[in-house]
């Protein structure tokens, strides 16, 4: 059974950073990319970017370039997504998703991590 297990909810102050983790199986880590998608309250899905763990290639949506960093930890088959300089409109549920490298769809998703930015 494919599982992506994300870290728990976080509350951050404006200007701080948050790092969300997404732990996958070794097979998934070695075979698939991971996408990061968020959904703010009452809003639609927003594609933040994706990362290929085997070649280190990352692709960030223009909106997030310079403020978001996606990384991996090979030793624990874990993906990370860090957002810096948090603002109130970064309050959202953040999802990681397994991305098929041939068709580029996202087939399995993490449970979501609520990040609340509030002073």
Q: Which residues bind another protein (CB under 8 A)?
A: 35, 37, 39, 44-47, 49-50, 59-62, 95, 97, 100, 103-107, 109-112
What whole-number distance in Å separates Cα of residue 18 and Cα of residue 7?
Answer: 11
Nearer to another protein, 47 or 82 (CB): 47
What whole-number distance in Å separates Cα of residue 105 and Cα of residue 35?
Answer: 9
In the complex, minimum distance from the CB of residue 75 to another protein, in angstroms, rounded to a whole number: 26
Nearer to another protein, 1 or 75 (CB): 1
Q: Please report where in the chains the tokens 């728990």 appear, as a residue.
A: 8
What whole-number distance in Å separates Cα of residue 39 and Cα of residue 109?
Answer: 13
In the complex, minimum distance from the CB of residue 18 to another protein, in angstroms, rounded to a whole number: 19
């Amino acid at each position: 059974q494919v599982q992506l297990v994300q870290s728990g909810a976080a509350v951050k102050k404006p200007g701080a950073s948050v790092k969300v983790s997404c732990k996958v199986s070794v097979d998934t880590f070695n075979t698939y990319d991971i996408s990061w998608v968020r959904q703010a309250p009452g809003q639609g899905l927003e594609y933040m970017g994706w990362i290929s763990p085997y070649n280190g290639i990352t692709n960030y949506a223009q909106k997030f370039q310079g403020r978001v960093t996606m990384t991996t930890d090979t030793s624990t088959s874990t993906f990370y997504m860090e957002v810096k300089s948090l603002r109130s409109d970064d309050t959202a549920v953040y999802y990681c998703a397994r991305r098929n490298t041939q068709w580029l769809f996202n087939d399995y998703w993490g449970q979501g991590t609520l990040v609340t930015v509030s002073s």
